[in-house]
Chains A and B, each alone.
Chain A
Amino acid sequence: KQEVTQIPAALSVPEGENLVLNCSFTDSAIYNLQWFRQDPGKGLTSLLLIQSSQREQTSGRLNASLDKSSGRSTLYIAASQPGDSATYLCAVDDSNYQLIWGAGTKLIIKP
């Protein structure tokens, strides 16, 4: 059974720092991995989707990588800003279009 883990559960860094969020999964047979952002009490915003055949995807200051063999994905945020403060969730699609979710990393960027 696929399990997705995100470490750390919470992270606080000063503004301007580059940072990495981690996501690991137990079964490498995945179709894709998606990173989301969620602000408190709001819906989820899709940030990046990496297909199983891809190694990374980039959007602005965000870069997501995927290493299926080791069961790991990272979300790199460059030059962090207070507006990046949110909970970041990763989710794996391993069959039948159902997402398996990590518990999320709550990120706080201190001005």
Chain B
Amino acid sequence: DTEVTQTPKHLVMGMTNKKSLKCEQHMGHRAMYWYKQKAKKPPELMFVYSYEKLSINESVPSRFSPECPNSSLLNLHLHALQPEDSALYLCASSSRGLAGVDEQFFGPGTRLTVL
């Protein structure tokens, strides 16, 4: 099973709301990723968790807060977002195996709209 699931599929929130995005994989992968994708652009890396520890934070504003409760779950907590944060948020996972075989598998994404 090469499936990464994400909930919710769509989310509309106001600038004062707090919400969370969730991601789950059951492939035994030890690396999980959050990406942000704007229309007609490639994904932009936000965070990487490796063995449940935050290993990469691509200078993301603090209104985005990642959390990795266990090796299968990844959350992205949202607070005080801006309209320009509206985008497709993608979760991915990979095995963190030998270099050269680290295939990333993506979830279907959460379409976020900030009003």
Chain A residues engaging chain B, CB cutoff 8 angstroms: 31-32, 34, 36, 41-46, 49, 51-53, 89, 91, 93, 96-99, 101-104
| B100 close to A31 (CB less than 8 A) | yes
Known: A41-B88, A98-B56. Is A46-B43 also a contact (CB below 8 A)?
Answer: no
- Set of chain B residues within 8 Å of A51, measured between Cβ atoms: 100-101
Chain B residues engaging chain A, CB cutoff 8 angstroms: 2, 4, 6, 31, 41-43, 45, 48, 50, 56, 88, 90, 92, 94, 96, 99-109, 111
- Set of chain A residues within 8 Å of B92, measured between Cβ atoms: 44
> Which one of A34, A43, A53, A104 lies within 8 Å of B90 (CB-CB)?
A43
Residue of A at shortest CB range from B99?
A31
| A43 close to B102 (CB less than 8 A) | no
CA distance in complex: A42, B109 (Å): 7
Chain B nearest CB from A29 CB (Å) reads 11
CA distance in complex: A36, B2 (Å): 14
- Set of chain B residues within 8 Å of A32, measured between Cβ atoms: 100-103
Pick 10 A–B contacts, CB within 8 A, sort by A. A32-B103, A41-B88, A42-B109, A43-B4, A44-B106, A46-B2, A46-B104, A53-B100, A97-B48, A99-B104
CA distance in complex: A27, B90 (Å): 27
- Set of chain B residues within 8 Å of A45, measured between Cβ atoms: 106
| B106 close to A43 (CB less than 8 A) | yes
CA distance in complex: A53, B31 (Å): 23
